[in-house]
Structure 1
């Protein structure tokens, strides 16, 4: 009798082990398939939305160029090539993905006269990277407009850099010499000073750094381009 029970137990154990192994395999297979199809959905969604996002960004950039350059009726793209600014031909293909290209935008009035340049820049803010564009008048050497393109700053505080009228008024005729400087609210006395937003000093200073870094990079290049433009007009 004992021998029979032992034999039955020995027979049961392999069956249970086999069932457990089969169940585990099914679970792993199910999870694997679920992960695979989820991945396909995510990749498909990314590929579908990427051109839409790119088109929206391009549209937002175009609208911002007209905002930061008062009197701008049209613009042309200018590219940094081998240390000098070169106008991009109309209809030229967009840079390939991953290709690093440095660009600014030349704005013209309704008579076709060059009135200024729209310059993009980015700088870490309080929450995340602030991406913005500003207008620069090389004749008067002043910033004439400012627009935030991307920001995740704190709602009600840091995000005021995008919409606060008093803050945005800093950029209607902001002198770039001496270098741009951010000062506390109510302490602006000079044309090169940006009056900070109360409670959003970090975001305000980030904007100041963004402008200063971009101006250091682009002003000398714009200066040379502007000289050549004036020579051609004489």
Structure 2
């Protein structure tokens, strides 16, 4: 149980930090038994060290053992071309190949907590999905980048998430609570607030600030779609 106090955006930042800490801890335990032939895929961009970032210790252990550490983002609104357009979409429109990698978009810069070279990849001919893929800087010294990325093609053809590595989809599916479970916890919280005499006050505050969400069909806070700015 992780209790967070604050508005929706404060809670999101705190919970995102808690999630990345937990993911880093789990990944660090996994790589202890891994070797040079193994891949570790992270969901997100390759930012390490500090608030809302992966652990530097995880990067260090992967580098020490030669593990192929890649960070894959489902979206990357921070990337733009010289005309200010979304770079991922613009790159897709310019390519005529069924599978491709655009590398590098930008190089790693550990002073800005970016530990991987940024690339854009398309992994499946039948899919139009394109993703940002950060390749850890230490990997590019002794391997060709297409060689590093090519094993991802075979795990990106699952019909449940065609074009996206199924291992990341499975991790997301396993860790995402169902709506029924979230509603159960939502009801428990409301019962606790009612017993404390706070529910009516909070509902009045909610009505004063959530009308834009209601217009967009969002009934509960957990239904909001957050976009990570990477």
Give the TM-score range, shorter chain: under 0.3
With a CA cutoff of 8 Å and minimum separation of 6, indicate the structure with the bigger relative contact order.
Answer: 2
Q: TM-score, normalised by structure 2?
A: 0.27
Normalized per residue, which structure has more strand? Answer: 1
TM-score of the superposition, structure 1-length normalised?
A: 0.27
Larger radius of gyration: 1
